[in-house]
């Protein structure tokens, strides 16, 4: 846990005290063999068991990915940590550890930054992925950049989809986007129980690490759904040089009933939330039918061609990859 503050108003001693507090909190998360040296030096030292490392970085920025009024500080720590580790899950990797680069306004309430760290520590425990270092800096807005390393014998890539593969969905879709929409459009006093459930799905996603590990040797390609099913299916299609044809009915069946209820109350299409929402951190994969694990749902097929198509009854339309309904 280092910092490199410069020409700022806050005394350096304050940052050192914060680092000492974080060091004590996170120390509890990394009592394991692969961590040789945790927080407190220029860098952390790891001794991974395997030779193949999977390495990712992800950011959560205030007013871009969240507003502090939308979730508790602890939710934010949890959310950002799971979002980062979800990339490891999508690669079929077992998490080894993470570094947290925190940027905080000088005036931030102690409860907030400590809450963020507590949420990270809880997520670290739940995911068996210790926080072994990081960085602390001042900034005008809260942002959390999390970098995580995992080990994988055979990492699952985006570019392995084969013509004839089934398209698999692991986990639910649509609820997080419905929840986010509630946060943006409905005052909390007016939330019903379904809305509260969807909001909680958005606030507390869970990286599907075990499921990712369960895809190894079965899936030919995989990705986590962070941009929305359509966009992330587009990434597989493009990287693999194939076309993904998705079955609207099969996707509908992967949308939780409460998300459908909320969508209808908001006057939105639940399918649209599922296709373009993201942030459920479900996994999308492709593989041979005979190898589909019990926890994966078939939602389409891989064909020759390019792009992502949606089939509904007799209709088959090309859907724009990466289209995001929040930008309208």
Hey, which residues between 248 and 267 contact a second copy (CB under 8 A)? Answer: none
Using an 8 Å Cβ cutoff, are 115 and 73 in contact? yes
Nearer to a second copy, 84 or 301 (CB): 84
Nearer to a second copy, 84 or 255 (CB): 84
239 binds a second copy (CB under 8 A): yes
Sequence-ordered list of residues with C-beta below 8 angstroms from that of 300, at least 6 positions apart, any chain? 166, 167, 233, 244, 245, 246, 247, 250, 311
The three-class DSSP label of residue 146 is strand
Using an 8 Å Cβ cutoff, are 172 and 277 in contact? no
Query: Min. distance of Cβ 290 from a second copy in angstroms?
Result: 25
Using an 8 Å Cβ cutoff, are 183 and 199 in contact? yes
Q: Taken in order 119, 121, 125, 128, is the CA torsion positive or negative?
A: positive
Query: Min. distance of Cβ 318 from a second copy in angstroms?
Result: 15
Window 281-320: residues binding a second copy (CB under 8 A)? none
323 binds a second copy (CB under 8 A): yes
Window 6-35: residues binding a second copy (CB under 8 A)? 6-13, 16
Find where tokens 């959310």 sit. Answer: 79
Using a 10 angstrom Cβ sphere, with 0-12 exposed, 13-18 middle and 19 or more buried, the burial of residue 299 is buried
Query: Min. distance of Cβ 167 from a second copy in angstroms?
Result: 17
Sequence-ordered list of residues with C-beta below 8 angstroms from that of 299, at least 6 positions apart, any chain? 167, 168, 169, 246, 247, 250, 251, 254
Instruction: Specify the DSSP element, H or E, that contains 195.
Output: helix 193-203
Window 171-190: residues binding a second copy (CB under 8 A)? 180, 184
| Tokens standing for residue 98 | 């993470």
Query: Min. distance of Cβ 37 from a second copy in angstroms?
Result: 7
Using an 8 Å Cβ cutoff, are 122 and 27 in contact? no
Find where tokens 């925190």 sit. Answer: 102
Using an 8 Å Cβ cutoff, are 186 and 265 in contact? no
Near a second copy by CB under 8 A, which window of 118-126, 141-149, 161-169, 292-300? 141-149
Nearer to a second copy, 11 or 241 (CB): 11
Query: Min. distance of Cβ 249 from a second copy in angstroms?
Result: 27
Q: Of 25, 27, 53, 265, which lies in the binding site for a second copy, with binding defined by CB under 8 A?
A: 53
209 binds a second copy (CB under 8 A): no
Site size for a second copy (CB under 8 A) = 83
Q: Of 28, 55, 188, 257, which lies in the binding site for a second copy, with binding defined by CB under 8 A?
A: 55
Q: Of 22, 39, 44, 244, which lies in the binding site for a second copy, with binding defined by CB under 8 A?
A: 44
327 binds a second copy (CB under 8 A): yes
227 binds a second copy (CB under 8 A): yes
Query: Min. distance of Cβ 126 from a second copy in angstroms?
Result: 20
Q: What is the number of other CB atoms lying within 10 angstroms of the CB of residue 251?
A: 24
Distances (CA, A) of 229 to 9, 54, 58: 44, 23, 19
Distance, in Å, from the CA atom of 62 to the CA atom of 41, rounded to the nearest integer, reads 29
Nearer to a second copy, 112 or 139 (CB): 139
Window 65-104: residues binding a second copy (CB under 8 A)? 65, 83, 87-88, 90-91, 93, 97, 99-101, 103
Nearer to a second copy, 43 or 289 (CB): 43
Query: Min. distance of Cβ 156 from a second copy in angstroms?
Result: 9
CA-closest candidate to residue 285, choices 305, 302, 303: 302
Window 105-134: residues binding a second copy (CB under 8 A)? 132-134
């Amino acid at each position: 846990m280092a910092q490199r503050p410069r020409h700022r108003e806050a005394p350096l001693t304050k940052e050192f005290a914060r680092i000492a507090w974080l060091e004590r909190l996170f120390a509890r998360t990394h009592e394991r063999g692969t961590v040789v040296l945790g927080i407190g030096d220029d860098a952390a030292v790891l001794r991974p068991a395997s030779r193949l490392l999977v390495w990712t970085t992800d950011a959560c920025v205030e007013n871009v990915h969240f507003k502090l009024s939308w979730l508790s500080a602890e939710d934010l720590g949890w959310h950002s940590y799971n979002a980062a580790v979800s990339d490891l899950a999508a690669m079929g990797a077992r998490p080894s550890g993470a570094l947290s680069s925190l940027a905080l306004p000088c005036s931030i309430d102690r409860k907030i930054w400590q809450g963020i760290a507590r949420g990270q520590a809880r997520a670290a425990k739940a995911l068996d992925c210790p926080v072994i270092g990081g960085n602390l800096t001042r900034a005008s807005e809260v942002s959390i950049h999390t970098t995580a390393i995992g080990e994988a014998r055979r990492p699952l890539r985006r570019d392995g989809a084969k013509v004839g593969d089934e398209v698999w969905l692991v986990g639910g879709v649509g609820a997080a986007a419905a929840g986010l929409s509630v946060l943006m459009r409905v005052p909390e006093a007016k939330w019903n129980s379904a809305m509260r459930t969807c909001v909680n799905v958005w606030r507390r996603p869970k990286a599907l690490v075990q499921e990712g590990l369960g895809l190894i040797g079965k899936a030919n390609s995989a990705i986590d759904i962070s941009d929305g099913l359509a966009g992330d299916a587009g990434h597989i299609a493009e990287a693999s040089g194939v076309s993904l044809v998705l079955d609207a009915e099969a996707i509908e069946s992967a949308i939780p009933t409460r998300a459908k209820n909320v969508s209808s109350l908001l006057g939105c299409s639940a399918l649209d939330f599922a296709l373009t929402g993201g942030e459920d951190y479900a996994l999308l994969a492709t593989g041979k039918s005979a190898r589909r694990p019990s926890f994966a749902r078939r939602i389409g097929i891989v064909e020759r061609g390019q792009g992502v198509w949606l089939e509904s009854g007799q209709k088959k339309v090309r859907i724009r990859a990466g289209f995001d309904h929040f930008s309208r």
